[in-house]
Amino acid sequence: MPAIYTPESGPPQKSVGVSVIVLTKNESLNIVRCLASVAWADQVLVVDSGSTDETVQLACDSGAEVVETTWRGFGAQREYALRLDVLQNNWIFFVDADEWVSGELAREILQAISSGSDKVAYWMFFRLVFQGRWIQHCGWYPSSRIIRLMDRRRVRFGSSKFSEHPDVQGSVGRLQSDLVDDDQKGLSAWLHKHVDYAELESQRRLAPAPGKSARREHESRLRYLLKDRVAGNVPMRPLVQFIYMYVLKRGFLDGSAGFAFCFYHAWFQFAVSNLQAETNRVGPTRS
């Protein structure tokens, strides 16, 4: 696997058999690069949830089909997109607007769907670029695995607003190349987004443990207890998080970007804990 990917690393020619879905909202700084990297697909569908910038126009100018709708939550939005009548193929590849697909990954996708394999979905590693640097350490890589290529007849997403992990009915394979996330909107947008994520995470931690019927859609009860009831109550968790990522997982090897990345993830834990405490004290706030 090359150490550096570029969006111009040789995508394959136009191919039949896969529809690419891009979920968007106010992604004008990212959408053109993203769509250029998936131009090899015979169908590219942008599902937009209320952009007020030029995202929709740029998507149309790039040759994508656009469906405008409301935001339903992370899992529900993907499930909605999977069931759209305008989809021309059963094989779907999800890519976010701040991500792009290398030529290597594109070729693997096309090979996978034409191989006749019994796999009904494929996972790949997630390569995050933060402040211009690929985060190779911090416990982030290669721990981050995502399922984005799937046969929509054998996959569903739940209605949870917290999780977008699919429930796959069948065997899952692996693609060797990474999906690259390199958001061009800058640090301010990243921080604002993670404030929203912190609110969602605090709500998830305060929610009742998933029951038997919800385990497929969320986590097992054991993992829930370990993650939220044990790890969630570790004293000084933000400091522990920073030491774990920066020292034990060698985030210092990622330079100044690695330090900032670890610091902001510790800050995220601090924000989540304080939002939980506020909810316990005064009840849920109104947005």
Considering only 1-5, 118-122, 134-138, which range has the smallest mean pLDDT?
Answer: 1-5
The pLDDT tens digits of the residues spanning 199-219 come to 888 888 887 765 544 444 444
Considering only 112-121, 173-182, 191-200, 210-219, which range has the smallest mean pLDDT?
Answer: 210-219
Asked whether residue 8 carries a pLDDT value surpassing 60, the answer given is no
Question: Between 160 and 249, whose confidence is greater?
Answer: 249
The pLDDT tens digits of the residues spanning 41-96 come to 999 999 999 999 999 999 999 999 999 999 999 999 999 999 999 999 999 999 99
Asked whether residue 3 carries a pLDDT value surpassing 80, the answer given is no
The pLDDT tens digits of the residues spanning 127-146 come to 999 999 999 999 999 888 99
What integer is the mean pLDDT of 234-242? 85
What integer is the mean pLDDT of 174-200? 94
Compute the distance between CA of residue 56 and CA of residue 171 in angstroms, rounded to an integer.
36
Considering only 34-38, 155-159, 177-181, 228-232, which range has the smallest mean pLDDT?
Answer: 228-232
Q: Mean pLDDT across the chain, nearest whole number?
A: 87
What integer is the mean pLDDT of 239-249? 96
* Closest C-alpha to 205, from 171, 183, 229: 229
Asked whether residue 173 carries a pLDDT value surpassing 70, the answer given is yes
Asked whether residue 227 carries a pLDDT value surpassing 70, the answer given is no
**pLDDT reported for residue 157:** 94
Compute the distance between CA of residue 252 and CA of residue 244 in angstroms, rounded to an integer.
11
**pLDDT reported for residue 106:** 95
Compute the distance between CA of residue 50 and CA of residue 25 in angstroms, rounded to an integer.
6
When pLDDT is cut at 50, 70 and 90, the band that residue 97 belongs to is very high
- The full set of domains in the chain, from first to last, is 15-181 (3.90.550.10), 187-281 (no CATH)
